Amino acid sequence: MTTEKSKTGGMLQRTSEEPLHVGRPNIGDRDGLMQRFNDLLDRRWLTNAGRYVGELEQRLAEYLGVKHVVAVCNATIGLEIAIKALELRGEVIVPSFTFVATAHALQWQEITPVFCDVDPRTHMLDPDQVEMRVTPRTSGIMGVHLWGRTCDVEALQKIAERRRLTLFFDAAHAFGCSRGGTMAGNFGAAEVFSFHATKFFNTFEGGAVATNDSALARKMRLMKNFGFAGYDDVVSIGTNGKMTEICAAMGLTNLESLDHFIDVNRRNYELYREGLSGVPAIRFLEYEEGERTNYQYIVIEIDNDRSAASRDEVMNALWQQRIMARRYFYPGCHRMEPYRSLAPHDAMLLPRTEDLVQRTLVLPTGTAVAEDDIQFICRFIRAAVTGT
């Protein structure tokens, strides 16, 4: 609940002490969750090929319409496993406008993430720029589906085929999203979802790799369990990427509330869109009509030249009201270590990314945010940006 009173200068004040965070977890039916917790405790089966992980993988595969889903302990490990299983090496082209795990998953295996600029309209890889970043050392392209929208899969696929590169996707934001009627999870060689607590569908921590390639799925299943094919039988290199039963129990429970979470996100998105429309200094990132999406991020760009307050000033003012809006993906992976030191001139190649990290602001949504919170946030941003 938020209420407001006018202050000198027309400043709005939020009276609720409750902070509003970006990505505050959605939690499904508690009683159902507790029943599953009690069941797994009674059975004393906490991890390692448990019943709930198997059931979650099966339900996810059905929902996505994909042959294989390999549940993992988080998307970062999922990306590392996919990269290893796909036998990538040398260089892989990725956007810099992404969460740093996208790049780290490559660098961790001494594969160079080659940062590529994005389309300023979608915030995702610009295929023309990708083409220009291909070198003899390039082995793959990792597209990132941002915000609950899919990137230009078809154009990237064409480049990958022409240049004989492996295409796969960081789909951390794209669970429940479709492109041309096909669910994310079916594109490229593999797609990796995140079920982190901050994602609209969470398993506390968790993730999943989806693929239609049976041999790849088999390889990744071995890899997530140290390479064990059976008791005492290690047949490949591996790591510990297993999802626990308690996480899978959370996933199964939240899956039952998935439609509700999406409905709430959609309601919030429509309220924000309405509340922030008609402000020339604000660009509101809209979801594509006709596709399935999760509406999980409310993303605006503030034009620092046309706004009475800069993006950072707006963000700081929101924080004073305990509205914890976030800059994404500030300052860009290419400006974080070790990439900043390894490729110090990348900023010159990424003008659109450089611009976006100064303009983008992500606002709270999800089931923890009420309708009047959103109305307050919109009025507040509108007043700050228009200087009224």
Binding site for ligand PLP (CB under 6 A): 74-76, 98-99, 101-102, 144, 170, 172-173, 194, 196, 207
Comparison of 76 and 268: residue with beta carbon closer to ligand PLP: 76
Query: Cα separation of 266 and 292, whole Å?
Result: 11
Cβ at position 83, least distance to ligand PLP in Å: 12
Comparison of 126 and 170: residue with beta carbon closer to ligand PLP: 170
Phi first, then psi, for residue 69 (nearest 5°) are -130, 125
Comparison of 328 and 376: residue with beta carbon closer to ligand PLP: 328
Decide: residue 17, CB within 10 A, 0-12 exposed, 13-18 middle, 19+ buried.
exposed
CB atoms within 10 A of CB 151: 26
DSSP 301-337: EE-TTTSSS-HHHHHHHHHHTTEE-B-SSTT-GGGST
DSSP 144-201: E--BTB---HHHHHHHHHHHT-EEEEE-TT-TT-EETTEETTSSSS-EEEE--TTSSS
**At which residue do the structure tokens 């005492």 appear?**
232
Cβ at position 332, least distance to ligand PLP in Å: 13
Contact 140, 114 (CB under 8 A): no
Cβ at position 303, least distance to ligand PLP in Å: 25
**At which residue do the structure tokens 């969750």 appear?**
33
Contact 322, 16 (CB under 8 A): yes
Query: Cα separation of 112 and 92, whole Å?
Result: 6
Comparison of 191 and 282: residue with beta carbon closer to ligand PLP: 191
Instruction: Give the pair of three-digit tokens for residue 324.
Output: 């914890």
Comparison of 52 and 329: residue with beta carbon closer to ligand PLP: 329
Contact 210, 182 (CB under 8 A): no
Comparison of 81 and 172: residue with beta carbon closer to ligand PLP: 172
Comparison of 99 and 168: residue with beta carbon closer to ligand PLP: 99
Q: Which amino acid is at 218?
A: R
Cβ at position 196, least distance to ligand PLP in Å: 4
Comparison of 149 and 196: residue with beta carbon closer to ligand PLP: 196
Query: Cα separation of 281 and 335, whole Å?
Result: 26
